[in-house]
Amino acid sequence: MTIIDNAVYVDGRRAAHPENLEQTFETLEAIGGSMAWIGLYRPSQDEMAQVAHEFNLHDLAVEDAIHAHQRPKMERYDEMLFTVLRPARYVDETETVEFGELHVFTGPNYVVTIRHAETAGVGLVRKRLEAEPDLLRCGPEAVLYALLDRVVDDYKPVVAGLENDIDEIEDQLFANDPTVSRRIYELAREVLQFQRAIHPLRPLVQGLERGFDKYEVDVELRRRLRDVHDHVEQLISRADGFREILQNALVLDGTLTTNRQNEAAAEQNEQVKRISSWAAIFFAPSLVAGIYGMNFKNMPELEWPVGYPWALGLMVVAGFVLWLIFKRKKWL
């Protein structure tokens, strides 16, 4: 069954718990001033068609609710308001952010919530409102406010998790961690998805505020929605700050990587200098020995009494001169 919870409320209190949609519609018609709240989880087309027919839901909104994968938005069709929210939660085990999708249909006397992900958020909101009948008495607008408030509150642990990940990245940058570049890219992608979830909330809340007077929204509900608006602005500001920090971290990572490569190249160059210097030093005696080791018949030095010590001395002097030259050039 895709019906998670199904209730009819009167004066802010649960008056009936219908077993199916038909009973819900019958109860709603029988009790004046009542409000139905139907919670669905990935409903089929037939189930959505039944709800859409009873509450006269717009075809475009129904199609969006069935196929999901919608961006956060709010659309009004006459007396019906269709709202899409993107709940999120931070998963500590994988250090990632998981996003869900919640569709809310609100009308004069009904609320239909449709979930497309496993989450207990809607159930917790229902319990909260049932414990506050004065708030639930405000009708479908109160349910929409409470759902929006819950989604925004659930963003706070996500922000804390992302902030902790960014702090770890800063440590990795200066620890020469070779995996830091990949993690920066992955975290930047999550921050971008988070921004896509929260940025549309600003015009969404502003749209609700513009309808305060027209739809005679309760004063207390107006105050609470303004509080949600303040939280949304804070979240947007922090998320935008995360994006800027990650961009700077990516630039810094590139700079540090280049510096490490330059240092490695410089060290390699020093090693080449040392090897070349010693090769030249050892080549000088080999050159002298090679010359005097030639077996030509007419070589005046072959019968020279001091030829042997002369050759040895020439080897030593040539090697020492080369060593001195390379030492002054700081190649050794």
Give the C-alpha distances (Å, rounded to integers) separating 58 from 65, 78, 144, 148.
Answer: 11, 9, 18, 22
Report pLDDT digits (tens) over 66-124.
887 888 999 999 889 999 999 999 998 888 899 999 999 999 999 999 998 777 789 99
Sign of the torsion angle spanned by Cα atoms 14, 225, 98, 69: positive
Report pLDDT digits (tens) over 118-148.
777 899 999 999 999 999 999 999 999 999 9
Average pLDDT over residues 195-202: 94
291 pLDDT tier (thresholds 50, 70, 90) = confident
309 pLDDT tier (thresholds 50, 70, 90) = confident
pLDDT at 40: 92
Q: At a CB cut-off of 8 Å and minimum separation 6, what does 185 contact?
A: 250
Strands (E), the chain: 3-10, 13-16, 34-41, 73-77, 80-85, 88-91, 96-99, 102-106, 110-115
pLDDT at 87: 93
pLDDT above 70: percentage of residues in the chain: 97
Average pLDDT over residues 288-313: 72
295 pLDDT tier (thresholds 50, 70, 90) = low
Angle (nearest 5°) at CA 189 between 184 and 195: 125
Report pLDDT digits (tens) over 158-181.
999 999 999 888 888 888 788 888
Give the C-alpha distances (Å, rounded to integers) separating 294 from 47, 106, 248, 280, 289.
Answer: 104, 105, 67, 21, 9
Q: Count of CB atoms within 10 A of residue 119's CB?
A: 20
Report field, pTM of the whole predicted structure over 0.85: no
Chain CA centroid to CA 225, Å: 27
3 pLDDT tier (thresholds 50, 70, 90) = confident
Among 255, 252, 242, residue whose Cα is nearest residue 188: 242
Average pLDDT over residues 29-51: 89
Rank 164-168, 211-215, 320-324 by mean pLDDT and report only the highest. 164-168
C-beta of residue 91 within 8 angstroms of C-beta of residue 165: no
The CA distance from 108 to 35, in Å, is: 8
